[in-house]
Amino acid sequence: MIKGGGLKHVPCVEDEDFIQALDKMMLENLQQRSGESVKVHQLDVAIPLHLKSQLRKGPPLGGGEGEAESADTMPFVMLTRKGNKQQFKILNVPMSSQLAANHWNQQQAEHRREDENEKAHTRYQ
């Protein structure tokens, strides 16, 4: 009959040397990688036209409470997948969130740039 139990660890001098060398390598690697910038891959997916028009129009006007809530939220399109089929859902994100605030600021800056370009164009003509 064969008894199992696996390998038994026998402590030796090389173990401490190995652990020290491993700790040193990991620390060096950590310090080296902390200086590198992390690249975030951005996914740019086209939103179908019928959803773009719904977003620009805003949510459908329902009752009094819906109007007050729509002023405090910004609609976003969430893209999900079920198998090979893409699904789109409109999410109303509160304006107090950082996502909505940053997007709002980007939209305002883009509108200002477009207005400045339009004014420059009319002055040029």
Name the least confident of 21-35, 70-84, 104-118: 70-84
pTM: 0.43
Structure tokens at 18: 């190995």
For the segment 30-83, what is each residue's pLDDT rounded down to a tens digit?
888 887 776 766 666 666 666 666 666 655 544 444 444 567 888 888 888 888
- Scored b (16 or more CB within 10 A) or e, 108-125 reads eeeeeeeeeeeeeeeeee
